[in-house]
């Protein structure tokens, strides 16, 4: 049993069954034993590899996307670039390197990184050593939005790590799935809260209408809250947002709660604090949250299509031109992994957000 598993077991014995959301929150963010608090999980030595770690091309093209958004909004003298869940700082570093060629853009920038992990903050500070940046524990300490200073948000694989609640459709209605301690097996186990939950109010009309008995649905109140906070910043500052993740284009039922350790899937109830826990993002729910607060969500784009529209093939050819055989092979492999439908190309989606009636966004078309 891990140290965090002992903490969770004692918590359950003291207060009763635990929601998936509380379990995820403790496993990922416990101040002493939380997964993201105690380690750098990225890369081959960690548990997973994100797109910015695969190739510099990913972040460079996103940087050009933001530079174009800045130009299309009149090249304001001041702009706040805010990354949520910055990892090692690789994405922000690539964004900043690529945008040096956009006259005036970096001079306008105030860089903000929303990060709770002191371990990852140290990595970010090393990666971004040549830049001035401000770190935040949450969105509440960001500068207030202003029409003269747009807020640009970027988040890659951020929403998938936010806690979810799971609901099960029973003959008596929706009931919340919870985690208990089973003395007989000496391990955590699944159960149902006997009381009716009010979380079903967050379910889409389609799920409420069509879900069959035995179906599992997932909701993430914290995701909606954070989306609404970002929406307020974007709407009031004529800003933009780009959110990259995997999940459902339309709200759907299904158990997507999963754990990853050493690049392999494992049981979500094992390895507490030592495995990454994620769930599929409900893009429809997130987009609706932005739209309610004065923003416009553009139709989702698959990651591969977005990168192609932004010119990743040309960038790959440019990088390969002076490379040796090994470098050329690595660039070709990275290009395939980022854009191919059998790799990350169709699995990951791009959600673009702008203020209502805002200027166009490169690569996206309003539908």
Q: How far apart are CA 141 and CA 31, in angstroms?
A: 20
Q: The whole model's pTM is what?
A: 0.95
Sequence-distant (≥ 6) Cβ neighbours of residue 340 within 8 angstroms: 304
C-alpha angle 9-11-14 in degrees, rounded to nearest 5: 110
Sequence-distant (≥ 6) Cβ neighbours of residue 181 within 8 angstroms: 9, 12, 13, 187, 188, 189
Q: How far apart are CA 110 and CA 230, in angstroms?
A: 16
Q: How far apart are CA 86 and CA 40, in angstroms?
A: 12
> Residue 206 belongs to what H/E stretch?
helix 205-210
| Contact call for residues 207 and 254 (beta carbons, < 8 A) | no
Helices (H) and strands (E) in the chain, counts: 14, 17
Residue boundaries of the structural domains of the chain: 38-163+219-355
Q: What is the pLDDT of residue 138?
A: 97
Q: How far apart are CA 276 and CA 22, in angstroms?
A: 15
Q: What is the pLDDT of residue 366?
A: 44
Q: What is the pLDDT of residue 46?
A: 54
Tell me how far CA of residue 294 lies from CA of 143, 237, 285, 356, in angstroms.
19, 11, 15, 6
Extract the runs of DSSP E, i.e. beta strands, from 99-257.
109-114, 133-136, 151-156, 165-170, 173-182, 187-192, 216-219, 240-248
Q: How far apart are CA 355 and CA 351, in angstroms?
A: 14
Q: What is the pLDDT of residue 27?
A: 97
First-residue to last-residue Cα distance in the chain: 51
pLDDT values of the chain reduced to their tens digit, one per residue, 367 residues: 899 999 999 999 999 999 999 999 999 999 999 998 887 766 555 556 899 999 999 999 999 999 999 999 999 999 999 999 999 999 999 999 999 999 999 999 999 999 999 889 999 999 999 899 999 999 999 999 999 999 999 999 999 999 999 999 999 999 999 999 998 888 999 999 988 999 999 999 999 999 999 999 999 999 999 999 999 999 999 999 999 999 999 999 999 999 999 889 999 999 999 999 999 999 999 999 999 999 999 999 999 999 999 999 999 999 999 899 999 999 999 999 999 999 999 999 999 999 998 999 999 964 4
Q: How far apart are CA 93 and CA 78, in angstroms?
A: 19
Q: What are phi and psi of 355, to 5 degrees?
A: -60, 145
Adjacent-strand bridge partners of 109:
79
Q: What is the pLDDT of residue 301?
A: 97
Q: Is the dihedral of CA 60, 129, 327, 46 positive or negative?
A: negative
Q: Which of 226, 138, 117, 164 is nearest to 22 (CA)?
A: 164
Q: What is the pLDDT of residue 45?
A: 55
Q: How far apart are CA 111 and CA 185, in angstroms?
A: 50
> Residue 328 belongs to what H/E stretch?
helix 325-339
Check whether domain 38-163+219-355 has CATH 3.30.930.10, yes or no:
no
| Contact call for residues 112 and 138 (beta carbons, < 8 A) | no
| Contact call for residues 63 and 97 (beta carbons, < 8 A) | yes
DSSP class per residue in 35-75? HHHH---BSTTSSB--HHHH-HHHHHHHHHHHHHHHHHTT-
Q: Which two tokens stand for residue 132?
A: 């001035």
Q: What is the pLDDT of residue 367?
A: 40
């Amino acid at each position: 049993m891990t140290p965090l598993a002992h903490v969770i077991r004692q918590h359950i014995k003291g207060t009763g069954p635990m929601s998936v959301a509380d379990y995820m929150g403790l496993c990922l963010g416990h101040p002493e034993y939380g997964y993201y608090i105690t380690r750098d999980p990225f890369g081959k030595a960690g548990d997973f590899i994100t797109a910015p770690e695969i190739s510099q091309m990913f972040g460079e093209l996103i940087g050009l996307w933001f530079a174009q958004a800045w130009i299309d909004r009149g090249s304001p003298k001041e702009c706040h670039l805010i990354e949520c869940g910055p990892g090692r700082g690789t994405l922000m570093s690539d964004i900043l390197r690529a945008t040096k060629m956009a006259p005036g853009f970096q001079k306008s920038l105030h860089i903000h990184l929303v990060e709770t992990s002191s371990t990852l903050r140290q990595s970010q500070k090393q990666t971004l050593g040549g830049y001035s940046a401000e770190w935040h524990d949450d969105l509440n300490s960001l500068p207030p939005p202003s029409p003269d200073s747009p807020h640009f948000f970027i988040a890659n694989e951020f929403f998938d790590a936010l806690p979810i609640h799971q609901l099960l459709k029973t003959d008596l209605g929706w009931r919340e799935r919870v985690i208990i301690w089973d003395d007989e097996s000496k391990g955590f186990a699944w159960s149902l809260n006997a009381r009716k939950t009010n979380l079903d109010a967050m379910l889409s009309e389609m799920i409420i209408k069509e879900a069959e008995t035995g179906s599992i649905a997932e909701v993430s109140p914290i995701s909606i809250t954070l989306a609404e906070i970002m929406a307020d910043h974007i709407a009031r500052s004529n800003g933009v947002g780009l959110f990259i993740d995997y999940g459902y284009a339309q709200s759907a039922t299904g158990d997507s709660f999963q754990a990853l350790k050493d690049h392999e899937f494992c049981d979500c109830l094992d390895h507490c604090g030592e495995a990454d826990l994620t769930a599929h993002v409900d893009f429809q729910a997130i987009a609706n949250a932005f739209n309610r607060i004065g923003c416009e969500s553009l139709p989702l784009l698959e990651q591969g299509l977005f990168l192609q529209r932004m010119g990743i093939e040309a960038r790959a050819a440019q990088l390969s031109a002076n490379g040796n055989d090994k470098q050329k092979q690595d660039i070709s492999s990275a290009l395939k992994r980022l854009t191919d439908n059998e790799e990350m190309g169709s699995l990951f989606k791009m959600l673009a957000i702008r203020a209502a009636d805002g200027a166009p966004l490169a690569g996206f078309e309003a539908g």
